[in-house]
Amino acid sequence: MPNQEEETRKDVSEREVTKVHGQPTNQDLDLLEDELLRIASSFYSELGGGAHGHAGLLLSDVDYAAMAPGTPFVIPPNPGVYPAGAIPAAQRAQREAEHKALIKQFQTCVGVAKGLKELILQAIDEDFVLELRAEQTGYLNVTPQQMMTHLRARWGALDFVDINMLMAECDSTWSPAEVPTKYFNRIDKARRQLARANVQIDERAMMLKALKCFRDAGDYDAPIREWEARPPAAQTYPNLKIMMSLEYSKLNRQDATTARATGHASANAVEEFAQATEELVAKLTEKHSKQIETLIKANNEAMTKNNEKIAKLTAALLEIKSQTPSRAPTTTPAAATQGPTKAQHWAEKCRTATTCPHCNKIHPNRTHDQCWHLEKNAAKRPAGWTASSTRST
């Protein structure tokens, strides 16, 4: 038989919550509580009216009563292993089925509570709830609601800086580019946070500020006149929210219709502009690519020429080395008295030759004045000689 408690705990603990790094702030705890409430309410339960799942495991009795009036969330007791008392044979099957349902309800509730506690420990460093941990049982006898209450009281309490920021949030204006519900949700959230610090923001004051924002937008004169014509009993904050949202939606639909009617004329111009922009980008990209290709080709050619020169010079040096005797001959006295060999003479020329100022080359077999680049030496140039084909020999 499957363990309902363990399966539920596992399902809850595998959900994701936002990790809080370091000491949690009031805003961190608000976000965590919202995430936990969504998770808890997604696990069905008939407790507390059956409409809010297991949200009652996190909310106080007062907060839950505000959400579900007249249907308190009461954590069920353990029904035991078998129906209690003597049961007539005719009722046994029904009583056993009812008992199984109670066991499932109890185990599911316990599993959700354990999973919520694991999620809290995943989101918050344990240092900040360590005070609740018992020596042998850990957090077994601590509820998720007690954990959140402890975190708010010890670490997430609002100070004067937070309170002033929230009050400034309540004074923020509405932009016509923003959906009104986002504005109202932002204000209402700030008011709820201030209420936890026993700072009450008058609802009528909020209504008047919202109405002024609505008027300053400039496109809602007619609905504002209709609003002012309503009886005072109908001029409530919830009604203002509805009115602003409806008028905003109506104006947006009208703007969309106008845009569709006039948009076709400008659609071609927009398309032509986009096409011209695309072509310009393509041309610039192609030009840039060609420049890069030319640069790479020039570099490769220069490297090839340098490598050829190095190879020729190396070959010449190897040839000189091969022609140079490793030691002076000693076979006959005449050899000792002979002058330098032709190879030795050539090697000496190569060693002492300098770069010609006329062709920037080294030609050991000719003096600078005998350089073929000079017109006076044109007759000495070999057949097919050009200035670019001059060799350094």
Q: Are 129 and 121 in contact (CB under 8 A)?
A: yes
Predicted TM-score of the model (pTM): 0.55
- The pLDDT confidence band at residue 315, using thresholds 50, 70 and 90, is confident
What average pLDDT does the segment 60-85 reach? 90
What average pLDDT does the segment 356-380 reach? 83
pLDDT of residue 192: 86
pLDDT of residue 393: 45
**Tokens 């002058």 -> residue:** 339
**Tokens 């000792």 -> residue:** 336
- The pLDDT confidence band at residue 336, using thresholds 50, 70 and 90, is very low
Average pLDDT, the chain: 85
Report the SS3 class of residue 335. Answer: helix
pLDDT beyond 60 at 330:
no
pLDDT beyond 90 at 388:
no
Q: Are 326 and 343 in contact (CB under 8 A)?
A: no
pLDDT of residue 310: 86
DSSP per residue, 116-143: HHHHHHHHS-GGGTGGG-BTTTBTTT--
* Angstrom distance (rounded) from CA 38 to CA 199: 27
pLDDT beyond 70 at 333:
no
3-state helix, strand, coil split of the chain in percent (to 5) is: 65, 0, 35
pLDDT beyond 50 at 392:
no
What average pLDDT does the segment 88-111 reach? 90
391: number of Cβ within 10 Å: 11
pLDDT beyond 60 at 389:
no
Q: Are 53 and 38 in contact (CB under 8 A)?
A: no
- Reference 165, options 141, 185, 135, 186; nearest CA is 186
* 373 vs 393 pLDDT, higher one: 373
- Which residues, at least 6 apart from 236, have a Cβ–Cβ distance to it below 8 Å? 207
* 294 vs 149 pLDDT, higher one: 149
* Angstrom distance (rounded) from CA 90 to CA 198: 58
118-163 confidence digits (pLDDT tens): 999 999 999 999 999 999 999 999 999 999 999 999 888 888 888 8
175-199 confidence digits (pLDDT tens): 888 899 999 999 998 998 888 888 9
Assigned token pair, 84: 């209690």
